[in-house]
Structure 1
């Protein structure tokens, strides 16, 4: 997974808004008999991906070219600082392709306002460097003579002296904001009647996650000045987008930290955190679910009967529990707790790149005397206090520098698949064990 290993230091710094001090309240032996010590460990076991979304686009005919006068549309979600990139072949060439300069076309301005309208000036023409360029047009013989050069921008003329209009005169790119962090980018072939009339091939698009103002993969399709890789050559030489689509699909998926984990030991009462079907109790769960701030709920719980111990567990060094990043293991926290027969344990932690999703135990909590993996007792819940957006691509998500939009709905399990994406299974994201 390219570009992933380098991000850990600044991802941790980026998520400081989730950092919270630990708090606890310990009691001596309960009424059910002698106490016992056990250690609870919570791990972020998500095998993360750097791209939040990707896909393919094409024309409507057979073959699926985008002919002069025709267009193709890409609908996607994005957070502030995220950009959309794409690649499509200049069909009447040996190995030229259209794409924005990396990292792509930004879709929000500095104030977080969606950008709309003509963004064609950001479309560039590139030479893949794998075939000698013939004069562009219907007479080009494919595939042509092999060469071994790096990717370079074609600005006016190529290395062989062939001339080209600016890419913005051949491809019109238009952004439309659909609301709730969703956009549509329309690519129209405007080359008709020009000296560079050409079809556009089926293409590939991608959007990288952002954390702390840095994109996890700022160049997912190509790198200027480097050799073509990962299937781009198939687009640039033959208009075949499947190899590159397969590659970007393999690095598209879920990336999220977990907030400092709330751990509660209780006895003789129902789940002290929440109840499915009821609205948030306004005791601090909302702040945990929206911001990763468990302090308010921890303080509230310490005043309630039946609550024996309360802890907030931040990960060492990073505070948040980062997912697996390349070869780097995900974050984990552990705590030795004292329990007696009849005690239950509840936990809660924010799905960091969401509006108000949180992982938590169910209504019956966990029996701390059952050693081993207790991950099947965990589910992902929607707190119902903030309008949902694509996880990791929402402009109002707190940990992406946004302000959540208020709503009031009952707490519910997050469906999977959900309207935005398909998540891994719970045990593939969070692991809870007792020993």
Structure 2
């Protein structure tokens, strides 16, 4: 009788509470370490000048970030903030770096020097963004598109030369002059932030002047360490 009562109680509890939920342990996504290099590849005659001569096309030290979710470095067709203006006009990335470090979705961010490899850690869903001034200009900068470059295809990290995903942008903050010749461009201006304002918006560079191909100025390579990857196109 006692055993029957015990069994009845257990059955009643099972009906009242429903089946006990099973707990599934989900394995966290593997973190991959990437070696990333952003280098200047221009030569002494890469940039054609209005007087028929030519010169090199350096890029400035810039900033990079690993982001996820809605985080981004800038939004096209909107006015640039003062921090992006400083990067695009004067090659000064400090203010923009300070700003993005406090943004939601920024996993890591720091400065980079052109040609020196940098190391980042990322997991599926993370993206790379960066910005670097095209020095022989009023307010042009190289960057990924606004969303950034996916560092994974599915679970596979990307690898290879990803320069095709780099864009020359116009910050829309200073009136444009012929690249390599304008008196208000960083190599020739009297001081930072001295050119006439443009009051425009961020857009892909298209101001009527001739610029070298992106791949003639900058190269972006991404190499995951110690894992199987998918090569970048």
Cα deviation 1:82-108 (Å, max 9, x = unaligned) = xxxxxxxxxxxxxxxxxxxxxxxxxxx
SS of equivalent to 2:102: coil
Alignment partners' CA distance in 2, 1:277 and 1:32: 37
Q: What secondary structure sits across from 2:164 in the alignment? A: helix
Change over 3 Å in CA distance of 1:32–1:374 after alignment to 2: farther
Kindly state the Cα deviation for residue 408 of structure 1 after the two structures are TM-superposed: 0.9
User: What whole-Å deviation, never above 9, does each CA across 1:397-427 have from its counterpart, x for those lacking one?
Assistant: 2331332211210111112xx523x222211
Deviation at 1:395, TM superposition (A): 1.1
Correspondence for 1:295: 94
SS at match of 1:376: helix
Q: How much is the aligned-residue C-alpha RMSD, in angstroms?
A: 1.9
Match of residue 146, structure 2, among 363, 380, 383: 363
What TM-score comes out, normalization by structure 2 length?
A: 0.75
Contact 1:366 1:377 survives alignment (8 Å) = yes
CA shift, 1:292, in A, is 0.5
Deviations 1:241-266 (A, max 9, x none): xxxxxxxxxxx335221111211100
Report if the CA contact (8 A) 2:133-2:141 is conserved. yes
Give TM-score, length-normalised by structure 1: 0.41
How many aligned residue pairs are there? 188
1:389 corresponds to = 177
Task: Return 5+ residue gaps in structure 2 as ranges.
Answer: 1-26, 152-156, 224-233
**Counterpart in 2 of 1:400?**
188
Whether 1:349 and 2:132 are equivalent positions in the alignment is: yes
Gaps of 5+ in 1: 1-30, 56-251, 315-320, 322-331
Equivalent residues of 2:43, 2:57 under 8 A apart: no
Structure 1 residue ranges, 4+ long, deviating more than 3 angstroms after superposition: none
Q: Deviations over 1:206-227 (max 9, x none)?
A: xxxxxxxxxxxxxxxxxxxxxx
Report the CA distance between 1:37 and its aligned residue. 0.3
Cα deviation for residue 33 of structure 1 reads 1.5
2:41 maps to: 45
2:108 is matched with which residue: 280, 304, 309? Answer: 309
